[in-house]
Amino acid sequence: MKKLVLAALALTLAGGASAQVKPEDAIKWRQSAYATMGWSMARIKMNVEGTYNKDEVIKAATVIQSIANSGMGSLYLPGTDKGKGWEETRVKPEFFTNKDGVGKVAMAFNKEANEMAKVAASGDVAAVKEQFGKLGGTCKGCHDDFKIKK
Q: What are the pLDDT tens digits along the chain (150 aa)?
A: 444 444 443 444 444 445 689 999 999 999 999 999 999 999 999 999 999 999 999 999 999 999 999 999 999 999 999 999 999 999 999 999 999 999 999 999 999 999 999 999 999 999 999 999 999 999 999 999 889 998
Residue 131 to residue 65: CA distance in whole angstroms = 13
pLDDT at res. 18:
53
The structure's pTM equals 0.83
Write 126-134 long-range contacts (CB < 8 A, 24+). Answer: 128/44, 128/47, 128/48, 128/57, 129/48, 132/41, 132/44, 132/45, 132/48
Domains located in the chain, CATH noted: 22-146 (1.20.120.10)
